[in-house]
């Protein structure tokens, strides 16, 4: 014997409940991808170029005397805001597409799932590319200090160079 209350509890109250649930999943996916890529796209490295020999003369990496002042360089990798703008844009695009072009719930859910998948893939690629690219960058040879935007939009690098302290 079934009661009427049991039938009502399994029936969605809103006709578009599956689409709304998928939108919620998309928003959570974008939020978690933002958090994880923020945490995983952080790194730093530092070092000082060869400096002075025992007599106090400035030398290069080969031990040859040089007139160039030895410097210490520190590089810090941070996530690029462009990745987060992509996440926001993808969510807004998917919702707009669902509202304007989806003929039924199945198509709307497919669009939202593909967008969520795309966000996860872009987040993973951004982390991997930014980390590999950062660790391949030479520590020396980048002059000046400040934030340098390199060819890839997946991360930004803050470079600080200071004169080598004399000891």
**50 CB-near residues (< 8 Å, 6+ apart):** 59, 60, 61, 63, 70
Query: pLDDT tens digits, residue range 27-39?
Result: 999 999 999 999 9
Q: What is the mean pLDDT of residues 42-55?
A: 78
Distance CA 161, CA 143 (A): 8
- List the beta bridge partners of residue 64: none
Q: What is the mean pLDDT of residues 94-112?
A: 95
pLDDT band per the 50, 70, 90 thresholds, residue 165: low
Please indicate whether residue 40 or residue 141 has the higher confidence score (pLDDT): 40
Query: pLDDT tens digits, residue range 70-99?
Result: 778 888 999 999 999 999 999 999 999 999
* Residue indicated by tokens 């934030």: 147
Instruction: Give the containing element (helix H, strand E) for 78.
Output: strand 71-79
């Amino acid at each position: 014997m079934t009661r009427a209350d049991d039938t009502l509890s399994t029936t969605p109250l809103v006709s578009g409940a599956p689409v709304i649930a998928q939108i919620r999943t998309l928003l959570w996916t974008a939020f978690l991808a933002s958090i994880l890529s923020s945490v995983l796209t952080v790194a730093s490295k530092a070092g000082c170029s060869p400096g002075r020999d025992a007599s106090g003369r400035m030398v290069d990496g080969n031990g040859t005397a040089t007139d160039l002042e030895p410097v210490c360089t520190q590089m810090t990798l941070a996530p690029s805001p462009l990745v987060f703008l992509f996440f926001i844009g993808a969510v807004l695009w998917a919702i707009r597409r669902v509202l304007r072009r989806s003929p039924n719930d199945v198509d709307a859910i497919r669009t939202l799932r593909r967008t969520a998948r795309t966000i996860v893939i872009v987040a993973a690629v951004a982390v991997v590319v930014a980390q590999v690219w950062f660790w391949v960058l030479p520590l020396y040879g980048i002059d000046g200090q400040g934030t340098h935007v390199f060819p890839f939009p997946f991360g930004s690098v803050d470079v600080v160079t200071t004169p080598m302290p004399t000891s």
